[in-house]
Structures are given as structure tokens and as C-alpha cells.
Structure 1
Amino acid sequence: MPAGTLPIRMLHDRLLVSVEGEAGERRSGGGIVIPATASVGRRLSWGTVVAAGPNARQIELGDRVLFDPEERAEVELQGKDYILLRERDLHAIAAPRVQDGHTGLYL
């Protein structure tokens, strides 16, 4: 859903993120099915930014971001679940504009 159609305006450095995939089972690179109950440490999640507040400095709409799923707040808008984060809660940005040697880390 395009950000312009969401009934929300983000404030400060807040981000609205659409989560990729589900928290269920997943496959390893070799094709092995890993059940949702298998847990080996903390696993970070990827999502796509669909709305950003005016004080978000390094994030643009459509960026893929890496975050800790335990440090989040969830919200439902128009029947779809989203994650609410602060820009400082992100671990990395994956976007075509990120130059070599610039990881997009927000420190």
C-alpha cells in the first residue's frame, strides 16, 4: 500500500515498517526447514519503511531496514499489521543509494 494512502502521519523520528515474511518456520540457505520453535539466540528481522516522521535523517520510504523484533510496537492500519520503530532502533539500512563503505548504520 503506498504511504500516501495510509491514514497516519508519523511524528519525530518514528518509522512505520511493513514486516517481511512471517515469524513461522523458515528455510536455511541449503533448503533445510527450520521450525518456528527452534531458537538460536536473537534473530533480527527485515522490513520495509512505508512512512517516516519529519526528523528521520537517514531513512527514505521504501528502504529495507534491519531491526530487533523484540524492541518494537505493533499497530494495525486498514487490516494490515505494521511495526512502529524509532530510527535509532534500526541496525542497518539496505537501499540502492547506500554507497560502498557506508553500511547505513545509524549510530
Structure 2
Amino acid sequence: MTADEKSLPIRLLHDRVLVQMEGSEGERRSSAGIVIPATAAVGKRLAWATAVGVGPNVRSIVSGDRVLFDPDDRSEVELHGRGYVLLRERDVHAVAAERIENDSTGLYL
């Protein structure tokens, strides 16, 4: 159990993953520096977040991993005044972590 997981006032069950969103969900900037308002219509856009807690049945994510998920399918929770998103492991599309090898195929659920 990591220090982040110890500071959480909850224990995650089953295949749940608690993540903290990266950046703000408001305005974004393009690579050229153009401001894109939050209300701009775009196609389905996935979001990155950092896993801060995982349940005992999660097999391919550990705390500290960056995960890619669909922000439209999420459950939000507030703990100690901070906002988090609660996901199921199967709702995570990809994991980015130092421990993942380049030639590894990963785990298929």
C-alpha cells in the first residue's frame, strides 16, 4: 500500500480504480497556442488521469500509473475536499507507466 492509498479515508473494493484528473476540464490550448473553449464541440475525447488507489482485484494498474479513460462514463467523488473519479478497471482504455515494457502485449480483460 502506497502513502497516497494510506491517506485515503476509504478502501476500494473489487476492481475499482480511484483516479485524479490531470489539468482542468475547462479551456484547452492547441499546440499552436489557440484557446479552445470548454463548450467547443469535439468528437469523443478520452482523458488522462493518475491512479491514486486500486481495489484488491485490479490486475494491471497500480497507484501512480497514468490511465486513459472516457470522461463521459464516470462517477465523481469528493474526499477531503479534493475531487476524484471512480472507475472500473474494464473502463480504462490504456495504462502509461515506467514499469510497462515496450514489447509487452499487456493484459487482455
Q: Give the TM bin, normalised by the shorter chain.
A: over 0.9
Question: In the alignment, which of 59, 62, 65 is matched to residue 64 of structure 2?
Answer: 62
| Mapping for residues 68-79 of structure 1, pairs under 5 Å | 68-79=70-81
Question: In the alignment, which of 10, 15, 20 is matched to residue 8 of structure 1?
Answer: 10
Question: In the alignment, which of 36, 44, 47 is matched to residue 45 of structure 1?
Answer: 47
Structure-2 separation of matches of 1:11 and 1:2: 16
Q: Deviations over 1:43-64 (max 9, x none)?
A: 1111000000000000011000
Task: Confirm or deny that 1:98 pairs with 2:100.
Answer: yes
Alignment: residue pair count: 107
In the TM superposition, residue 17 of structure 1 has moved relative to its aligned partner by: 0.4
Report the TM-score when normalising by structure 2. Answer: 0.91
RMSD value, Cα: 1.6
